[in-house]
Amino acid sequence: MEILQLQDVSYTYTGKTNVIEHVSLSFEQGKIYAIVGKSGAGKTTLLSMMSLLTKPSSGKILYDAKDITDMDPYHYRSQYVGVIFQNYNLLMHLTALENVVLSMEIAGKKENRKMIARELLEKVGLDEEEMNRRILKLSGGQQQRVAIARCLSYEPKVILADEPTGNLDMETQAEILEIFKSLAKEGHCIIMVTHSKEVAACADEIYELKRMKKSTKKI
Ligand SMILES: Nc1ncnc2c1ncn2[C@@H]1O[C@H](COP(=O)(O)OP(=O)(O)O)[C@@H](O)[C@H]1O
Ligand SMILES: [Mg+2]
């Protein structure tokens, strides 16, 4: 079933021509999507709208058939979508466990925070010693695992990832993609922006964003 839908969405940065023009896309639960396109094609802009960091200039974004543009962006991002970045965006001086627990506190989750955080970190492949290590002492791949665990802690149905493996070697990239595959099997909808053919190849659907024509096609 469709969890996220973009209906005729356009976006213009102030004083610029349209970056995104009349884009309509839909995303289902249980699937992995790759959004590909050249640098400057508007991929990050598209994710920013889907995560409500910014609102479309026109058109609608529906989550579970409800228009998200009327929703409080903080509430939306702490309940509905998880966001993962190329540079992980973790708090470097806190431990992996503290990062996940803190996010749960901010999201207003009260019950068994530490226990759930441990389970999630274990699920993405960190052992007890690594969980208690500060982020700055973890490898890039381990940091991205923590970022995934952090976003799972809100229990979002949709996970948005901007070049999630852009800073990782091929082997670590493959491990992160395996995590995404198992999350999709559990019913999550994973939407990743990527430059990489290998990453796009693991998606169920690929949408290409074109800079010049500013249209999308399904390939
Ligand atoms: N804050 C901004 N203000 C003005 N223009 C921007 C801003 N952010 C991005 N752009 C422009 O919008 C276009 C799309 O950018 P972006 O979504 O980051 O593309 P991609 O992620 O595909 O590389 C680019 O031409 C970029 O220069
Ligand atoms: Mg980008």
Tens of pLDDT along 82-140? 999 999 999 999 999 999 999 999 888 889 999 999 999 999 999 999 999 999 999 99
Specify the residue with its C-alpha closest to ligand 1, atom 2: 13
Kindly give the pairing relationship between strand 32-36 and strand 205-209.
parallel
In this predicted structure, what is the pLDDT of residue 208? Answer: 94
Q: Which of 186, 125, 160, 150 is nearest to 43 (CA)?
A: 160
In this predicted structure, what is the pLDDT of residue 70? Answer: 87
Q: What is the mean pLDDT of residues 192-218?
A: 81
If you measure from the C-alpha of residue 88 to the centroid of ligand 1, how many angstroms do you get, rounded to a whole number? 20
pLDDT of residue 213 exceeding 50, the answer is no
In this predicted structure, what is the pLDDT of residue 209? Answer: 92
Considering every ligand atom, which ligand is closest to the CA of 35? 1
Q: What is the mean pLDDT of residues 144-155?
A: 95
In this predicted structure, what is the pLDDT of residue 218? Answer: 59
Q: What are the φ/ψ torsions at residue 56 (nearest 5 degrees)? A: -60, 150
In this predicted structure, what is the pLDDT of residue 216? Answer: 57
- How many residues in total does the chain contain? 219
What does pLDDT average to over the chain?
Answer: 93
Q: Which amino acids bring their CB within 6 angstroms of ligand 1?
A: 13, 16, 19, 37, 39-45
Q: Strand pairing partners for 81? A: 158
SS3 32: strand
In this predicted structure, what is the pLDDT of residue 78? Answer: 87
Rounded Cα distance between 210 and 40, Å, is 9
Q: What is the mean pLDDT of residues 23-39?
A: 96
In this predicted structure, what is the pLDDT of residue 219? Answer: 58
Contacts for 67 with CB less than 8 Å, ≥ 6 apart: 60, 61
Listed by start position, the domains of the chain span 91-154
Contacts for 63 with CB less than 8 Å, ≥ 6 apart: 3, 4, 76, 80, 81, 158
Rounded Cα distance between 13 and 57, Å, is 9
Considering only residues 217 and 144, tell me which one the structure prediction assigns the higher pLDDT.
144
